[in-house]
Amino acid sequence: MDIDWTAVAIAAGWAIILGGAGGALTEIGGWYHHLRKPAWQPPDWLFGPAWTIILGLAGWSFYIGLTEAPSPEARTGVWALFIANFVLHFAWSPLFFKLKRPDWALAENVFLWLSVVGLMVVLPRLVDNPFVGWLNVPYFIWVSFAFVLNLKIVQLNRPFVTGEPDPRARQ
């Protein structure tokens, strides 16, 4: 089996840029620490390793998609799925941490979740390989969990009119 090093570089670059940007755009500072969060939120240190594994598996599915697409149309579909996911994944951290708008991040998370569903459902059909869908199941589970966590943070801290939570918000 020959390795397509261009596809390796593209898929690895996709995962590394998303993971690196997510880390760089995540500011665990005073504003974040003052947010009310549910008791079941994982510790902050867990997010980095979790995203590393998740994006590594998704990157692997991207590589398979690029190398097993049976036609130019299928390959375009693979690109479209991963570009859409890239944009939506990239947008969440600035909305939540930079703009301090967990409510906007929550709304955006719906579209991110749908893009991951596309990686699980559409990608396997494009390349006729169910394994690529299964590689994205951890991504789906984590984004689903993150949606519920994001929702709870919004509920505990709303409204976010200026990006700052209402200090009168109650649990």
Taken in order of first residue, the domains within the chain and their CATH numbers are 5-157 (1.20.1260.100)
Query: Which pair of tokens denotes residue 15?
Result: 């995962």
CA 23/CA 126 separation, integer angstroms? 31
CA 79/CA 62 separation, integer angstroms? 8
What is the per-residue pLDDT across 123-156, written as a single tens digit (0 to 9) for each? 999 999 999 999 999 999 999 999 999 999 999 9
Give backbone dihedrals phi and psi of 170, rounded to 5 degrees, phi first.
-120, 155
Q: How confident is the model at residue 165 (pLDDT cuts 50, 70, 90)?
A: low
Quote the pLDDT of residue 25: 73
Q: Note the pTM of the prediction, 2 decimals.
A: 0.89
- DSSP class of residue 43 equals P
What is the per-residue pLDDT across 48-71, written as a single tens digit (0 to 9) for each? 899 999 999 999 999 999 999 999
Checking if the pLDDT of 1 tops 90, the result is no
Q: Could you tell me if 163 and 101 are in contact, meaning their C-beta atoms sit under 8 angstroms apart?
A: yes
Checking if the pLDDT of 164 tops 70, the result is no
Q: Which runs of E-coded beta strand occur in the chain? A: none
CA 98/CA 116 separation, integer angstroms? 23
